[in-house]
C-alpha cells in the first residue's frame, strides 16, 4: 500500500514539477491537474519535464476559478484516474502546486499505512466554523450564487440579500449534513471510491454545483456519509489570514517548518530556493512524530492580530486610527496630577520617592516640557521645546507614553498649561486624573504681582479650570477621575495621597510615613476674600473662612467620579 | 469624495501628467538599456546631481535586494556621476541641464520616465541618499515583498524617511566610496514624530526627527515632511504630486489603517547627515534649487556653523529592521 497524490497546478509549474518528481521518484504515483488557462507551451514544458516518470500522469484540464465547482470536478477526475491506474494506492492526498513535502515520503506512507481506514479531512458543521469569508456559512448550502464573489461583489451581495428577503431556500438532498473544512485532504481508498461511485452521485453533484465554494464542502460533507473513521484535520499545513488568503512560507521559515513535523505545507513562495533545496533532498525516514503546527499557528495568528488590532497606543505611518477606533488611545497607564505641585513644595520629588514611576513636572507648561530630573529631552529624543510640543500636543503625549513603555509616567498639570489634550486624556481609559480644584490660586497668593493683575489672572485660570472640570464630569469620560476642592484636600491630605500612590504602584506595601511639605496658607482665606471684594468670585477652592486660617472646615469624603 | 473635489483632483493629476509630458524634451538619453528590462523586474527611479562618491554603495545595496534595473536622471553632474552610471550594465541614464526646481524638484522628469518605463512594474523611487528597508529585508528579496503585495492587490507601500546621523560633528568622519553610510551615520530619533492627516490627499503628514528637533524647534510647521510612498505598482494614470510624499490618484496614499490595525510598512534610511555635508549645503545655498525657497538649507547653514552635533544620549543606534519594527517606526502588518 502506498499513498498517491493529486496535484492541482496553475502557476509556478517548474516548482510543481520538482515536487511531482520528488513524490514519483520516491514511489508515490501522481496525477497532475493543470488549469486549462495555463498556456499550451507551459503545459507542454511541464509534460516534457516529467516525461521520464511512468507514475506521473495528467488528467483532463478544467478552467478553475476560486471557489467554483470546477475545482471539485478537477479533484474528482484526478482521483478517479489515480484509483483506476494505481491499484496499490491506499490513500489519496490532494495537494496543490505550491505544496512542499516537509518530511520524507516514507514517513507519510508509514503514518498512513498504520491508519489504513482513517480519512484525514477537516470536516466541521457550519455552526462551528469561525472562518467563513463574507459572513455566509449555512446559507452557502441554501442559497444560489450565480455571480462571482471576486469579480461581481455588488451583484453577489445584492442577490444574496434578495434571496434572504424573499425567503428563498434550496432543499438539501437527503442524507447530507453540510460540513466545511480545508480543501486539502487525504482520503482512504474505500471512502473515496464510495464517494465517486455512489449511486446518487449525479444528485450530489447537481446539488453541490450550486453551493458556494463547493471545494470546501463537497468531500467534507460526503465523507461524513461514507467514512468509517474521520480524523477532522488536514495533513497539509495551510494557514489563512483574515481575508482568506493563504500565508506564504519563505526561506527564513526553514527551522520553523522543520520543527513542525507536518507532512506537507502550503503555500511556498516559488522563489524560496532554500526551502525547495532542503526539503526535496534525500533524507532518511526516521521520525514517527505527530504533526505539531502550534508554533506556526502562533506566528500567523500574531500576524493577523497585528494587522487587525495593532499595537495599542501606537501612531505611525501605517497605523493611524480614527477617533474612537484606537484600540488603546495610549499604550500604557499614566497619571495626571493637577494642583498638587501648587499646594506642596517639591511634590514631584516627594512622589518619586514613593512610587516606582517616572514623575515629570509640568509637561505642558508654557515655557517648556518639564521632563523629570530637569532633562531637556526624553526617551525617543522627545524634545522639551514648547513650540514643538504645542504643534501636536496629542502626538507629544502619545509619543511620551509610547517611548516610556515599561515605566509608568506621571506628570503635573495646571490651568496655566497647554489645555489641548483635555478631551483626549479624559476619554482615555489609561489615564488617571487627580485634581485639587482651585489650587492654582496658591502661587498667585504668594506672588508679588499687582493685585489687579492677580485678579485678572485668577479669573482666567478659574475659567480654564472650570472648562476642564466640565470635561472631567461629562458622560464621555473613560479616565479614572478624582476631584477634590482645595479645602477638602487640605483637611485630610494623607488619605487621598495614599490612594493615588496605591494606584500608581499597587504592589508597594509601604505606607506613607512622611507627608509632602504643604505651602504656607496663612492668610489664604483673606486673599480669597480680597478677590471677592474686587468683584471676582473664587468658586473652586471650597470653603476657607476669612479669619482663623488654621481651623479646618467640616470633614467630607472626597468624591470619586468613575 | 464630492464631485467637485473629484474633478479638482483629476485636473491636478492631468496637469502634472501634462507637465511631465512637456518636460520630456529636457531629458537627453545617455545610456538607454530599457530594452533589457524583464517584465517582472522591480525598477529603481532616481534623480541625482554630483553624487559620484555615494553611487557604488547605492547600486550594491539595491542590487543585493534584487532590483532588476535602475533608471537615473542626472541633473548636470560635474563629478563623473553620469559617466559612472552610463557604464553600469543595469542602468539607464538620462541627463538634463534644465532647472531642478522648475521641474517640480525633478518629479516632472521622473513622472515621465515612470509612465514610460515603469508602467506594469513595481517601481521604487528614491534619492541617492535613501536606503529602503522593509520587513524581512535581511532574509527576503524585494520580489518576495512585491509578490506578497500583489496577492493582496496592494498598489503602494509606505516607507517613512528616517534621518540618520553620526555621533559628533557631521563632517568629522569622511565618507569613503563604497562604504556603508550607516557605519558612520548610525543614530536615529526613535519616538518624536508628529503625524496629522491631510484631508485633501488622504495621506499622513509626518514631521519630526532630528531635523525638526534641531533646525525647526521654533517653527515646527516648516519642518520637512517625512512621509513617503516610494514603492508603487505603476499604472499609466499615476503621478507623484509632491516628491514621493504624495501620489495621485489619492487612493494610493491610503497606506495606513484607520481602524486600529497595522498595515505593512518600511523605512527609508536617510544618509543625508554625512560628510561632505557642509560643502553640499554651501553649494545648494548658491543654487537655490530646493523646496520652499531652500528654507531647509538656510536652516542647516545657520545651525551647522554653530552646533553640528545631532547626537543626544537618547539617540537610538540602528541595528536592523526588527529594531525599527519594535520601536513602532515600521510594521510587518500581516506578513509573517
Cell numbers for A45, please give them: 514544458
Question: Does A348 lie in the same domain as A222?
Answer: no
Nearest-CA distance A252 → chain B (Å):
6
Q: Which residues pair with A316 in a beta bridge?
A: A319
Task: For residue B191, give the nearest of A243, A302, A403 by CB distance.
Answer: A403
My answer on whether A267 and A378 are in the same domain is no
Interface pTM (ipTM) of the complex? 0.94
The CATH number of whichever domain residue A28 belongs to comes to: 3.90.550
User: Which of A310, A382, A387 shows the shortest C-beta gap to B192?
Assistant: A382
Q: Is residue B82 part of a domain?
A: yes
Domain presence at residue A174: no
Nearest CA in chain B to A316: B329
Predicted confidence (pLDDT) at residue A166 exceeds the cutoff of 70: yes
A378 interaction partners in chain B (CB closer than 8 Å): 314
Q: Clarify whether residues A460 and A386 are in a common domain.
A: yes
Alpha carbons A453 and B34: distance in angstroms, whole number: 74
For residues A106 and A3, give the distance between their C-alpha atoms in angstroms, rounded to a whole number: 10
Q: If you count DSSP H runs as helices and E runs as strands, how many of each does chain A have, helices first?
A: 21, 20
Does residue A338 share a domain with residue A257? no
Q: Do B259 and A326 touch (CB under 8 A)?
A: no
For residue A464, being part of any structural domain is answered with yes
Tell me, yes or no, whether A338 and A289 share the same domain.
no
Neighboring chain B residues of A380 at a CB cutoff of 8 Å: 189-192, 314, 316, 327
pLDDT (0 to 100) of residue B307: 61
DSSP codes joined into one string, A433-444? EEEEETTTHHHH
Q: Which residues of A touch B140 (CB under 8 A)?
A: 250-252
Final residue of a domain: which of A239, A265, A294? A294
CB contact under 8 A, B191 and A321: no
Tally the domains of chain A. 2
Which whole-number Å values give the CA distances from B115 to A511, B28, B101, B111, B119, in the listed order? 71, 17, 21, 6, 5
In a domain, A279, yes or no: yes
Across the interface, whether the CB atoms of A320 and B195 are under 8 A apart is answered yes
pLDDT tier for residue A554 given thresholds of 50, 70 and 90: very low
Q: How many domains does chain B have?
A: 1
Calculate the alpha carbon distances from B147 to A98, A138, A418, B141, B184 in Å: 14, 34, 48, 10, 33
The shortest C-alpha distance from B99 to chain A (Å) reads 32
Which residue in A226, A174, A234 sits closest to A198, CA to CA?
A: A226
Structural domain span for residue B103: 3-327
Which residues is A410 bridged to in the sheet?
A335, A359
A110 and A200 belong to one structural domain: yes
Would A139 be classed as within a structural domain? no
Residue A301 lies in a domain: no
Residue-wise pLDDT tens digits, B63-83 = 999 999 999 999 999 999 999
Residues A247, A267: Cα–Cα separation, whole Å: 7
CB contacts < 8 A (A, B): 178
- Beta-ladder partners of A266: A238
Evaluated on CA atoms A61, A67, A73, A74, the torsion sign reads positive
Measured distance CA(A555)–CA(B306) in Å, rounded: 60
With respect to residue B333, please indicate whether it lies within any of the assigned structural domains.
no
| pLDDT attached to residue A309 | 94
Continuous segment of H or E residues that includes residue B161 = strand B159-163
When CB atoms are compared, the residue of B144, B193, B259 closest to A321 is: B259
For A58, residues 6+ apart whose C-beta sits below 8 A from its C-beta are A31, A32, A33, A34, A47
pLDDT interval class at A71 (50, 70, 90): very high
Whether residues A268 and A406 share a domain: the answer is: no
Confidence of residue A547 (pLDDT cuts 50, 70, 90): low
- Comparing CA positions, the residue from B53, B243, B55 lying closest to residue B161 is B243
Same domain, A410 and A282: no
The pLDDT tens digits for B264-323 are 999 999 999 887 777 777 777 777 777 776 777 777 777 766 667 899 999 999 999 999
> What 3-state class would DSSP assign to B297?
helix
- Is the residue at A302 inside a domain? no
CA distances from A278 to A1, A68, A111, A256, A282 (A): 27, 34, 22, 13, 9
A476 three-class SS = coil
What would the pLDDT profile of A276-320 be if each residue is shown by its tens digit?
999 999 888 777 788 998 989 999 999 999 999 999 999 999 999
Contacts of B160 in chain A (CB under 8 A): 316-317
Q: Tell me the three cell numbers of residue A232.
A: 477532522
Q: How confident is the model at residue A379 (pLDDT cuts 50, 70, 90)?
A: very high
Q: A218-226 vs A189-196: helix axis angle to the nearest 10? A: 110
Q: Does the structure show a pLDDT above 90 at A456?
A: yes
Q: Is A212 exposed, middle or buried (0-12, 13-18, 19+ CB in 10 A)?
A: buried
Query: A52 with A136: CB under 8 angstroms?
Result: no
Contact flag A252-B262 (C-beta cutoff 8 Å): no
Residue % of chain B over a pLDDT of 70:
98
Q: How far is CA B281 from CA A41, B101, B128, B215, B299, in A?
A: 58, 16, 16, 14, 10
- Tens digit of each residue's pLDDT (9 = 90 or more) over A380-414: 999 999 999 999 999 999 999 999 999 999 999 99
As separate numbers, helices (DSSP H) first and strands (DSSP E) second, chain B gives 9, 16
Which of B191, B206, B260 has its CB closest to that of A380? B191
- Whether A151 is in a domain gets the answer no
The minimum CA-CA distance between B268 and chain A, rounded to whole Å, is: 12
Contact call for A309 and B261, based on CB within 8 A? yes
Report if residue B146 sits inside a domain.
yes
Strands A408-413 and A264-266: unpaired
Coil, helix or strand for A94?
A: strand
Q: Does the pLDDT of residue A20 top 60, yes or no?
A: yes
Q: Could you tell me what percent of chain A has a pLDDT over 70?
A: 95
Task: Extract the residue ranges of chain B whose pLDDT is less than 50.
Answer: none
Q: Report the distance separating Cα B6 and Cα B1, nearest Å.
A: 6
- Cell readout for B119 is 508602467
Indicate yes or no: CB of B255 within 8 angstroms of CB of A317: yes
- Closest chain A residue to the Cα of B195, Cα to Cα: A395
* Coil vs helix vs strand at A515: coil
| pLDDT digit string, tens, across residues A234-283 | 999 988 888 888 899 999 999 999 999 999 999 999 999 999 999 999 88
Distance to chain A for B137, nearest Cα, Å: 11
Contacts of A310 in chain B (CB under 8 A): 257, 260-262, 331
pLDDT above 50 for A555: no
* Contact between chains at A310 and B257 (C-beta distance less than 8 A): yes
A382-383 and A377-378 beta bridge pairing: antiparallel
Task: Give a yes or no: residue B240 inside a domain.
Answer: yes
> Would you call B334 and A306 a contact, using CB atoms and an 8 Å cutoff?
yes
Rounded to two decimals, what is the model's pTM?
0.92
- Judgement on whether residues A243 and A374 belong to the same structural domain of the protein: no
Q: Do B191 and A392 touch (CB under 8 A)?
A: no
Q: Do B196 and A392 touch (CB under 8 A)?
A: yes
Rounded to a whole number of angstroms, the distance from the CA of B263 to the nearest CA of chain A is 5
For position A135, what pLDDT does the model report? 62
Using the predicted structure, report yes or no on whether residue A550 has a pLDDT greater than 80: no
Give residue A439's domain range.
334-561
pLDDT score at A551: 47
Asked if A314's CB is within 8 angstroms of B189's CB, the reply is no
In a domain, A172, yes or no: no
Q: What percent of chain A has pLDDT over 90?
A: 76
Residues A281 and A350 in one domain: no
Q: Above 80 in pLDDT, residue A24?
A: yes
The Cα–Cα gap between A101 and A276 comes to 9
Instruction: Classify residue B336: in a domain, yes or no.
Output: no
Question: What span, in angstroms and rounded, lies between the C-alpha atoms of B305 and B302?
Answer: 6
**How many alpha carbons fall within 13 Å on the CB side of residue A274?**
11
Distances (CA, A) of A530 to A452, A523, A527: 11, 11, 5
- Chain A residues within 8 A of B227 when measuring between CB atoms: 317
Amino acid at each position: 500500500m502506498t499513498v498517491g497524490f493529486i496535484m492541482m497546478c496553475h502557476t509556478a509549474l517548474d516548482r510543481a514539477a520538482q515536487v511531482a518528481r520528488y513524490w514519483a521518484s520516491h514511489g508515490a504515483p501522481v496525477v497532475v491537474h493543470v488549469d486549462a488557462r495555463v498556456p499550451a507551451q507551459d503545459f507542454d514544458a511541464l509534460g516534457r519535464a516529467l516525461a521520464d516518470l511512468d507514475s506521473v500522469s495528467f488528467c483532463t484540464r478544467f478552467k478553475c476559478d476560486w471557489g467554483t465547482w470546477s475545482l471539485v470536478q478537477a479533484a474528482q477526475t484526478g482521483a478517479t484516474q489515480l484509483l483506476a491506474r494505481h491499484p496499490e494506492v491506499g490513500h489519496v492526498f490532494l495537494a496543490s502546486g505550491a505544496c512542499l513535502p516537509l518530511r520524507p515520503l516514507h514517513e507519510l506512507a508509514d503514518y498512513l499505512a498504520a491508519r489504513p481506514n482513517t480519512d484525514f479531512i477537516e470536516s466541521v458543521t457550519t455552526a462551528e466554523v469561525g472562518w467563513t469569508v463574507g459572513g455566509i456559512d449555512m446559507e452557502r448550502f441554501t442559497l444560489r450564487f450565480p455571480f462571482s464573489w471576486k469579480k461581481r461583489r455588488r451583484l453577489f451581495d445584492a442577490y444574496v440579500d434578495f434571496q434572504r428577503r424573499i425567503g428563498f431556500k434550496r432543499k438539501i438532498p437527503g442524507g447530507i449534513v453540510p460540513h466545511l473544512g480545508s480543501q486539502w485532504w487525504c482520503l482512504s481508498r474505500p471512502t473515496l471510491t464510495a464517494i465517486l461511485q455512489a449511486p446518487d452521485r449525479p444528485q450530489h453533484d447537481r446539488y453541490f454545483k450550486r453551493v458556494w465554494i463547493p471545494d470546501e464542502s463537497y468531500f467534507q460533507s460526503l465523507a461524513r456519509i461514507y467514512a468509517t473513521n474521520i480524523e477532522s484535520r488536514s495533513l497539509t499545513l495551510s494557514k489563512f489570514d483574515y481575508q482568506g488568503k493563504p500565508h506564504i512560507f519563505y526561506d527564513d521559515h526553514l527551522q520553523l517548518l522543520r520543527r513542525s513535523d507536518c507532512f506537507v505545507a502550503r503555500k511556498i513562495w516559488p522563489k524560496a530556493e532554500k526551502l525547495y533545496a532542503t526539503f526535496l533532498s534525500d533524507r532518511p525516514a526516521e521520525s514517527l512524530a505527530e504533526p505539531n503546527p502550534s508554533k506556526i499557528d502562533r506566528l500567523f495568528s500574531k500576524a493577523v492580530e497585528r494587522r487587525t488590532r495593532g499595537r495599542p497606543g501606537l501612531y505611525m505611518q501605517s497605523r493611524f486610527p480614527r477617533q474612537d477606533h484606537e484600540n488603546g488611545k495610549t499604550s500604557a497607564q499614566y497619571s495626571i496630577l493637577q494642583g498638587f505641585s501648587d499646594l506642596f513644595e517639591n511634590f514631584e520629588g516627594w512622589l518619586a520617592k514613593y512610587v516606582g514611576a517616572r514623575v515629570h513636572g509640568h509637561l505642558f507648561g508654557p515655557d517648556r516640557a518639564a521632563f523629570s530630573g530637569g532633562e531637556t529631552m526624553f526617551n525617543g529624543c522627545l524634545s522639551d521645546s514648547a513650540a514643538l510640543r504645542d504643534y501636536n500636543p496629542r502626538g507629544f503625549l502619545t509619543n511620551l507614553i509610547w517611548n516610556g513603555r515599561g515605566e509608568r509616567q506621571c506628570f503635573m498639570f495646571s490651568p496655566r498649561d497647554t489645555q489641548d489634550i483635555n478631551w483626549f486624556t479624559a476619554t482615555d481609559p489609561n489615564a488617571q486624573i487627580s485634581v485639587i480644584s482651585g489650587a492654582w490660586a496658591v502661587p498667585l497668593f504668594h506672588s508679588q504681582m499687582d493685585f489687579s493683575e492677580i485678579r485678572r489672572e485668577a479669573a482666567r485660570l478659574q475659567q480654564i479650570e472650570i472648562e476642564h472640570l466640565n470635561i472631567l464630569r461629562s458622560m464621555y469620560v473613560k479616565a479614572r477621575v478624582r476631584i477634590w476642592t482645595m479645602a477638602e484636600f487640605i483637611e485630610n491630605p494623607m488619605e487621598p495621597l495614599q490612594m493615588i500612590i496605591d494606584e500608581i504602584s499597587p504592589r508597594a506595601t509601604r505606607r506613607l510615613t512622611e507627608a509632602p511639605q504643604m505651602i504656607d496658607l496663612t492668610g489664604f482665606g483673606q486673599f480669597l476674600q480680597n478677590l471677592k471684594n474686587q468683584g471676582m468670585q473664587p468658586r473652586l477652592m471650597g470653603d476657607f473662612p476669612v479669619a482663623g486660617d488654621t481651623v479646618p472646615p467640616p470633614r467630607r469624603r472626597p468624591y470619586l467620579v468613575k | 469624495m464630492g464631485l467637485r473635489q473629484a474633478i479638482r483632483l483629476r485636473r491636478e493629476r492631468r496637469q502634472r501628467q501634462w507637465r511631465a509630458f512637456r518636460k520630456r524634451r529636457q531629458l537627453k538619453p545617455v545610456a538607454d538599456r530599457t530594452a533589457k528590462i524583464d517584465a517582472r523586474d522591480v525598477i529603481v527611479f532616481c534623480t541625482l546631481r554630483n553624487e559620484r562618491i555615494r553611487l557604488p554603495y547605492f547600486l550594491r545595496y539595491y542590487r543585493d535586494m534584487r532590483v532588476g534595473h535602475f533608471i537615473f536622471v542626472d541633473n548636470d553632474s560635474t563629478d563623473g556621476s553620469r559617466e559612472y552610471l552610463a557604464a553600469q550594465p543595469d542602468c539607464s541614464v538620462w541627463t538634463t541641464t534644465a532647472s531642478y526646481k522648475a521641474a517640480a524638484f525633478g518629479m516632472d522628469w521622473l513622472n515621465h520616465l515612470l509612465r514610460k518605463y515603469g508602467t506594469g512594474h513595481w517601481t521604487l523611487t528614491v534619492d541617492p541618499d535613501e536606503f529602503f528597508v522593509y520587513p524581512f529585508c535581511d532574509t527576503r528579496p524585494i520580489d518576495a515583498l512585491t509578490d506578497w503585495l500583489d496577492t493582496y492587490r496592494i498598489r503602494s507601500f509606505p516607507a517613512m524617511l528616517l534621518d540618520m546621523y553620526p555621533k559628533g560633528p557631521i563632517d568629522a568622519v569622511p565618507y569613503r566610496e563604497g562604504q556603508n553610510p550607516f557605519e558612520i551615520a548610525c543614530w536615529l530619533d526613535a519616538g518624536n514624530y508628529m503625524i496629522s492627516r491631510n484631508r485633501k490627499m488622504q495621506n499622513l503628514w509626518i514631521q519630526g526627527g532630528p531635523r525638526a528637533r534641531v533646525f525647526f524647534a521654533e517653527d515646527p510647521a516648516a519642518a520637512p515632511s517625512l512621509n513617503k510612498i516610494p514603492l508603487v505598482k505603476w499604472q499609466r494614470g499615476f503621478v507623484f504630486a509632491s516628491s514621493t510624499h504624495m501620489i495621485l490618484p489619492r487612493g494610493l496614499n491610503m497606506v495606513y489603517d484607520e481602524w486600529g490595525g497595522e498595515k505593512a510598512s518600511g523605512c527609508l534610511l536617510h544618509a543625508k547627515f554625512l560628510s561632505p555635508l557642509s560643502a553640499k549645503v554651501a553649494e545648494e545655498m548658491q543654487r537655490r534649487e530646493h523646496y520652499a525657497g531652500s528654507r531647509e538649507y538656510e536652516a542647516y547653514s545657520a545651525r551647522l556653523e554653530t552646533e553640528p552635533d545631532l547626537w543626544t544620549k537618547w539617540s537610538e543606534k540602528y541595528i536592523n529592521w526588527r529594531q525599527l519594527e519594535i520601536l513602532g517606526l515600521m510594521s510587518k502588518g500581516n506578513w509573517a
